[in-house]
Chains A and B, each alone.
Chain A
Amino acid sequence: MSAVSARRLADKELIVVPYRRVSVSALATNVVLILLGCFFLLPLLWMVFASVDANPDWAIKIPTPTLANFADVIGRADALSSFRSSLILAGTTTVLTTLLALLAAYPLSRMHIPFRRSFMLVILFASGLPVSMLVVPVYQMYVYLGWLDSLYTTALFLAASSLPFAIWLMKNFIDAVPLELEHAAAIDGASTFRILRQVVLPLTVPGIAVTAIYTFINAWGAFIIPFVLTYSPENQPGPVEIYNFMGSHGLFKFGDLAVFSLLFSLPVIVLYLFMSRYFSGAFNFGGAVK
């Protein structure tokens, strides 16, 4: 081998540097990174190992393999009903938020709207408001309207609270669709709704997917809103159920708890993998807010 090695500088560019200078720092870099990786891996490993262990404990240990924990959880009516509640809650929230965000983001991106810049700043500010501020007034409203303890009305509030960020995200995606295509369609006499349906919509599919998946992941993990707004056992979504299990010392076995949270986490991990293909550009905060 020659006395040089290629090192990545930027994503696609390779530069050639003397071998000896790289090797010490390269070794240190990899070792430090692997040690940091262990800090992230260890807590996770507990969940994976405990889920297939016949005798799990709070510590990570080599499991005595069994699938009994999985069989236990799948046979539990409360575990199944919380999955159902989570699906209804997150599904309704996602459909509603994505649809309304798409409809609102198009005119905000394309049409002349007075005070648009101020409106977008208010939207951005609203997405930073803590839910703990809204939870008391919304609780009061729901008591007054008789809306407590329903998954659909709870989803309505979840949709309202996720809408500001969804609109902001969707607008940035529509901004990236070239205007010329729409001008051509408009000159050919297509109506606004027809342009939206036949020109913008197909080109915005990645943006819609990202917005929908992002909303779903958040709604799937939402805790305080369903915790306050629902109370029947059959309406408790996954996070509230796990919280209740954690509090009921001994009533729920470690292994079952690990299996339940593992199964509950899988959908969002799979969805994230789908989304990450489109999402890589979303972290460029170097420029200012348009």
Chain B
Amino acid sequence: MAVAAGLGPRLDRERFQWSSLVMLSPALVLLGVLFVFPVLYACYLGFTNLALVGSRSRAYDFTGLDNITRMLGDYVFIKSSWLTIIFVVGSAIIGQTVLGMALAILLRNALVSVSAVIGSIVIVAWVLPEITVALVWYAFSQAGGTLSILLRQTDTNFLVAVPMLIVSLANLWRNVAFSMLVFSAGLRNLPTEVLEAAEVEGASVWRRYRLVIFPLLKPTIVTNLLLVTILNLSEFTLIYAMTQGGPGIETMTLPLYVYQEAFVFHQLGYGTAISLVLVLIGAVFSLLFVRASRSQV
């Protein structure tokens, strides 16, 4: 032991180098000031009665669990939570995953030229700025718009008649390319021998998918489900630009309600408290994601 101590630091193990801290520090400073601090600040503001204007914009108090109690009695909040769940489950979990998988399988089996054209159109819809998607879908669903002509109901404004369905469809239209690309990559990486074996053994197409391909794709499907859920939970721009949460509160999902409480009704404290609930929902899904990705390696 005494001999080893005289030889200086061990060389057989990686050591911490100060230069790594120098390179990390600019990112850490920016993240600390404009990410970590705001997160902590939000956790505090969510338990205060801070307002945007008036006396409580300067002298606000810590009000403990008042905001939570208020939420439980706030029927807009309850409705908003339900709408968020409907939006995420309908548009993201079911719509995006099923349509994304269907597109990935169809693209693989269709003619190369058809796949190339349709694949590009789906991807263009995904790359477009959200505000452009909001505009083209706004036009598409208006009375006298393309959808009303296709359905022969030119007097119906579908954004008023079935607002949640239309914003969910618009969101599906925009985001499905993500799942499609994830599943296409997953299908491409499947071991060819196994697929050939199933085909040679004479398994029907349906049996091949149900018994071979889907089980092999399970890790990809799980990862896709959770990423898509987290991304869609915080969707704001598309819905807000199309409806501002209306008509009434028919499309007021939680991110829109946060904005409305904070910047329209000037209730910054209460708005932040609602955003904390949104984060809590996201955190539950993230934990599921980490657990799922660990258990399946």
Contacts and interface: CB of A to CB of B under 8 A. Distances in A.
B224 interface: yes
Contacts, number: 301
A59 B115 contact: no
Nearest to A273: B127
Interface residues of A, number: 99
A107 B149 contact: no
Given A36-B103, A37-B118, A43-B137, A223 B24 contact: no
Nearest to A130: B234
A31 to B, nearest CB: 9
Contact of B278 (A130, A193, A221, A257): A130
A223 B244 CA distance: 13
Interface residues of B, number: 110
A167 interface: yes
B185 A130 contact: no
A157 B34 contact: yes
B259 A132 contact: yes
Interface in B143-161: 143-146, 148-149
Interface stretch (A64-72, A137-145, A176-184, A202-210): A137-145
A76 interface: no
A41 B128 CA distance: 13
Interface in A122-150: 125-126, 128-141
A121 interface: yes
B115 A163 contact: no
Given A44-B124, A285-B223, A112 B106 contact: no
Given A43-B137, A46-B139, A114-B16, A223 B237 contact: yes
Nearest to B296: A288
Nearest to B273: A136
A58 B142 contact: yes
B67 interface: no
B118 A126 contact: no
Contacts of B223: 285-286
B125 A223 contact: no
Interface stretch (B3-11, B38-46, B75-83, B88-96): B38-46
A15 B199 CA distance: 11
Interface in A195-233: 196, 217, 220-221, 223-224, 228
B14 interface: yes
B183 to A, nearest CB: 9
A130 B142 contact: no
A284 B27 contact: no
Given A42-B140, A59-B149, A238-B131, A121 B290 contact: yes
Nearest to A284: B185
Contacts of A264: 129, 132
Given A131-B234, A140-B268, A221 B131 contact: yes
A100 B30 CA distance: 9
B297 interface: yes
Most chain A CB within a 10 A radius of its CB, from B41, B42, B255: B42
A174 to B, nearest CB: 12
Contacts of B195: 9-10
Contact of A288 (B109, B262, B297): B297
Given A60-B146, A113-B16, A134-B42, A269 B258 contact: no
Given A29-B110, A272-B127, 14 more contacts: A15-B196, A37-B118, A44-B121, A111-B17, A129-B39, A130-B234, A132-B258, A136-B272, A160-B35, A161-B35, A164-B31, A164-B35, A239-B237, A280-B185
